[in-house]
Structure 1
Amino acid sequence: MANADKRSAARLAAVQALYQMDVTGNGLKETRNEFESFWIGHEIEGERYKDAEIAFFDDILAGVVAGQGPIDRVIDKTLASGWPLARIDSVMRAILRAGAYELRQRADVPARVSIKEYVDVAGAFFGAEESGMVNAVLDAVARQCRAAEFEPRG
């Protein structure tokens, strides 16, 4: 499996783990261990979960947990008035948090790549409208924290 595919799988697993933490209240260590031991790269009920770049998965998961307050504030600023992050569906919250973390902290990944990857993750759970919202929110976050990547070349 190519490295890009392993990173895509890591993003999806991180979103699923963040969702699980949000819903169950389980902590970082317990959730990380569960995903690394039983989900990532394993077969469950006849379905094979893709191998993922574990270090990338760990970084996203731990980074979102450690920086959740600032991440949430950045996302809240980009959401439509009257729709704070707390009112957003749990899966969508996990997608936006993971994407915002990556845009803010992983300069080694081009912003447009991160945005596209999380739009694709949203597409696995939601329809076009929600995927468009993820695109719009993460694009706004990227333009705030990585403006240079969006300046015209010439």
Structure 2
Amino acid sequence: MSKPPKPTGRPRTGARVAAVQALFQAEQTGETTETVAHQFIRHRIGAGGSDDTFEDGRIPLAHIPLFEAILKAAATRSEATDAEIRTHLQKDWTLERLDPVLRALLRAAAAELMAGTEPPARVVINEYLDIVRGFLDEETSRFANGVLDAMAHTLRPTEFGAAR
């Protein structure tokens, strides 16, 4: 009996992309994250047609348990995640001033960083930086990198050798 083929793609990255999109949609429509999560699982995650891609609004490969965990953490800890993000913005910046896609991405990342110690903070940072580069310009990517790095150092100081 042969071994089943190894899965291809990056399902955890897909879960994070879907989480950012779902948080964005929930904020824009006023729907709950739970409602949006169900919509994504039914209609956007997984292979629909053979040629469905991210550009078609689908997330062909996503780890659904991670997607749900990020959304649940972001929803149940929304005040804490927003407060954490605010502490790492410059004085003249408000959370509301951020691009809504960037705001959704930072909320997903903050929720994931606050949820535990796995995956390592550097993995979380790199994953979300890959995502921000797919949606926003280079200047915004650098901005996101600074905020993500500062949040990770604050939330998981032991992973970086010392507390700030």
Q: Work out whether the TM-score is over 0.5.
A: yes
Mapped to 2, the partners of 1:28 and 1:148 lie a distance apart of 31
How far residue 24 of structure 1 moved from its aligned partner, in angstroms, is 0.5
Deviation sequence 1:43-79 (CA, Å, 0-9, x none): 37x5333221100000001110110101101100101
The list of structure 1 runs, each at least 4 consecutive aligned residues, that deviate by more than 3 angstroms after superposition, is none
Which protein is bigger by CA-based radius of gyration?
Answer: 2
2:130 is the counterpart of 1:125: no
Secondary structure of residue in 1 paired with 2:10:
helix
1: CA distance between counterparts of 2:31 and 2:137? 28
Tell me if 1:53 matches 2:63: yes
TM-score, length basis structure 2: 0.86
Gaps of 5+ in 1: none
2:158 is matched by which residue type in structure 1?
A
Q: Please provide the CA RMSD for this pair.
A: 1.7
Q: Which residue does 2:29 correspond to in 1? A: 24
2:20·2:108 contact (CA, 8 Å) conserved in 1?
yes
* Matched-pair contact (CA < 8 Å) for 2:74–2:108: yes
Moved more, 100-109 or 72-81: 100-109
Q: What secondary structure, in the 3-state scheme, does the structure 2 residue paired with 1:47 have? A: coil
2:103 equivalent in structure 1? 93
**TM-score by structure 1 length?**
0.92
- Return the alpha-carbon distance in structure 2 between the equivalents of residues 8 and 70 of structure 1: 24
In the alignment, what sits opposite 1:13?
18
Q: Unmatched 5+ residue regions in structure 2?
A: 1-6, 54-58
Query: Identity over the aligned pairs, expressed in percent?
Result: 37
Helix, strand or coil: the match of 2:146? helix
How many Å apart are 1:28 and its aligned residue?
2.1
Q: Say if 2:88 is the partner of 1:78.
A: yes
Inter-partner Cα distance in structure 2 for 1:26 and 1:37:
16
**More off after superposition, 35-44 vs 11-20:** 35-44
Match of 1:34 among 27, 32, 39: 39
